[in-house]
Amino acid sequence: MEIKQPLTVDPQTDRILSDLPVIAVVVPCYKEEQALPISLPSLIQMLDRMSADGMISEHSFVLCSDDGSTDGTWCVISEFHKAAPGRVKGIHLAHNRGHQYALLAGLLAAAPMCDAAISIDADLQDDPAAMRQMIEQFKAGAEIVYGVRSSRESDTWFKRNTAHAFYSFQRHMGLDTVYDHADYRLMSRRAIELLAAYGESNLFLRGIIPQIGLKTAVVTYERSSRVAGESKYPLAKMLSFSIDGITSFSSRPLRMIFFVGIALLILDVAMALYVFTSYFGHDTIPGWTSLMLSTWFLGSLILIALGVVGEYIGKIFIEVKHRPRFAIDKDLL
């Protein structure tokens, strides 16, 4: 009969110590009642196979972070937890706070119980098989491993081009983001602990995580269609997400307003020279069209400038209040 070595437990965290890494798969969820019954068995099966192959500890688990769903998402998580409490864990936010907050809450909840956490959406558009390569990179020393799409051929022409414009615009605005990377990544426990030190309320994890500065690696994969349910990121939400990221990490839009103002000042000087030359040359003709065009142009520019400045003031307003970023209502840990 095979004699197994007794398990060693860390007295501070109650985490089982092993030579193999304990991996937490963190799944942010919002109204995923249809997707979870398909995606959770797939993720559990992936963990079982990697554990059987000796890649990860048998104590690895899936942690679902329910972003205050109003459907049966939490009931699905609870049923899976009852069936396999060691494999499926969950937290339920008291209020819907958004994808980035749910993901951060899941990472912070999982960190004391794991060596590394892999974040993946419940729709399984990101290929779970890429986790193997992520774990291999983690064992080779990388503390943050980005999952990057190998191509966008499966996207529509509109989505492909708007996505490219999204990343290009962020780069021009000074954001340090990984091209074609969403939130499919592996983070070591140390990386998550460093992430926790970033206390801003305006969360844009794709911009924060590259600033941590630990050793990184990239794994490419093919993205597929959703297993069930509907996308939670339509075009309007993607635009809002992009604006939040830019105004949270870059002051370049404010500087652009300044340079536009300088350019308009130079144009005003040139126009003044033309007006005075025409006036003293007795060649002045009242121009209603030019007056209206200039008035509308300058008025629009002023409103745009006020809007950009307002975005920054709004973020300052949120940050200075130092309100809790989220509250966990229930947990199954």
Identify residue 299 by its one-letter amino acid code. Answer: G
Whether this prediction's pTM lies above 0.75 is answered by: no
Would you state the structure tokens that stand for residue 7, as one six-digit string?
Answer: 């398990």
Domain boundaries, the chain: 8-249+324-332, 252-320
Residue 264: strand pairing partners? none
pLDDT in tens, the chain (333 residues): 333 334 445 555 555 555 899 999 999 999 999 999 999 999 999 999 999 999 999 999 999 999 999 999 999 999 999 999 999 999 999 989 888 899 999 999 999 999 999 999 998 889 999 999 999 999 999 999 999 988 766 666 666 666 667 667 667 666 667 777 888 999 999 999 999 998 887 788 888 898 898 999 999 998 877 656 565 555 566 666 666 666 666 666 766 776 777 776 677 667 666 666 766 666 656 665 466 557 667 766 787 787 778 777 777 777 776 777 888 989 999
290: number of CA atoms within 13 Å, CB side? Answer: 6
Q: What is the pLDDT of residue 316?
A: 78
Q: Does domain 8-249+324-332 have CATH number 3.90.550.10?
A: yes
Q: And the tokens for 130?
A: 């890429």
> Do 28 and 63 touch, CB atoms closer than 8 A?
no
Listed residue (42, 46, 47, 39) closest to 21, CA to CA: 47
User: Could you give the CA distance from residue 5 to residue 20 in angstroms, rounded to a whole number?
Assistant: 14
Contact criterion met (CB below 8 Å) for 319 and 201: yes
Other C-beta atoms within 10 Å of 251: how many?
12
**Dihedrals phi, psi of 209, to nearest 5 degrees:** -60, -40
Q: How far apart are CA 331 and CA 333, in angstroms?
A: 6
Residue 286 to residues 270, 277, 278, 279, 289: CA-CA distances in angstroms?
18, 15, 11, 11, 9
CA pair distance 200, 210, nearest whole angstrom: 15
> Quick check: helix, strand or coil at residue 182?
strand
Answer whether 97's CB lies under 8 Å from 67's CB: yes
Structure tokens at 165: 């414009």
Confirm if 100 and 205 have CB atoms less than 8 A apart. yes
Q: What does the pLDDT read at residue 265?
A: 64
Give the strand pairing for 61-66 and 23-29. Answer: parallel
Residue 139: predicted pLDDT:
95
